[in-house]
Each structure stands twice: as structure tokens, then as C-alpha cells.
Amino acid sequence: MQADIKKLQLQNRNLAQSNSLMLAELNLGRDKRKLLQHEISCRSALIKANALKAGSNDEGRRKRSRSIGSDKVKDNNRRRSRRHSAFVETHEHEASENLFEIEDTIMLHSCSAGERSKLRNEAPRSSFGRPLRRAAEKVQSYKEVPLNAKMRRLE
């Protein structure tokens, strides 16, 4: 009986050790995966930013090459060129919004939690023409706050 108990205790100890080793390997693998995912997201953001920069240079070259063409073609395609220019302007605006999002994600991944809250409060607005989305916030009361409530210290 004593020998069986000792044998079971030894097996239990060996199982616990192997379990802790497997958990350590699993946690190490998870940490490596998180680091690699972060690195991939940073690289993809850089690639997107470079592609957008390169794309904006190509669009400028295309505009210059169009201006060299004959005047008769411009008269015939006036309506189409206006539509196209309106489309290009909206496309460029969307691209600039994406750049701000890319910069925000890069900065948020590389900062600590305390710095993240500061960045969220001080982050540049990507769309200046739109009002802030404050309509979704719940209004506590339309009455003016009493003076004694205003003078209280915030803790």
C-alpha cells in the first residue's frame, strides 16, 4: 500500500513538472506570436504609407501628362473629366484619413497604457469638416448644475 502511494506521488510530481514545462513553452510561443503580429502590423502600415506616398506622386505625374494633350479632346471630355476629378479628390481625402489611422495604430502599439490615454485625448482629428460625434453621448440633465456642485473638488 505504501509503495503504491509513493509510486502515485512520484507519477503526480512528474506530471506536474511536465505540465509546467508545457505551459511555459505555450506562454513563450504566445509571446513570440504577439511580437511577430505586432512586427507584421508595423511593417504593413509602413508599406501602406509608402504605397500611398508613391501613389500620390504617380497621380501628380498623370495630371501633368493630361495637361499636355490637345485642346479639342478636353472640350469633348469636359463632363467626364469633372466627374473624374471629383472622384480623385474624394479618393485623396480617404487616403489621408487612412494615414492618420496608420499613425495612430503605430503610436498606440509602441506606447505604454498611460501614454495611450494621453494620445487618445490629444490625437489629431482626421476630418476637420465633420462635427465631433457628441450626439451619441447621454445627456445627464438640461438644468444648470448648482454652484455647490461646481465648486466641489474632483478626486
Question: For the segment 1-36, what is each residue's pLDDT rounded down to a tens digit?
Answer: 899 999 999 999 999 999 999 999 999 999 999 999
Output 49 or 110, whichever has higher pLDDT.
49
Residue 140 DSSP class? -
Question: Which amino acid makes up residue 33?
Answer: R
- Return mean pLDDT, the chain: 72
Angstrom distance (rounded) from CA 75 to CA 73: 5
- Residue 111, Cβ neighbours under 10 Å: how many? 13
102 band by pLDDT with thresholds 50, 70 and 90: low
Q: Which of 114, 118, 121, 109 is CA-nearest to residue 46? A: 109
Q: What is the mean pLDDT of residues 69-74?
A: 53
Q: What is the mean pLDDT of residues 81-106?
A: 52
Residue whose cell numbers read 500611398: 52
10's grid cell: 512520484
Output 39 or 92, whichever has higher pLDDT.
39
Domain ranges of the chain: 1-49, 79-123
Q: CA dist 18 to 22, 25, 32, 99, Å?
A: 6, 11, 21, 48
Q: What is the pLDDT of residue 17?
A: 95
pTM comes to 0.33
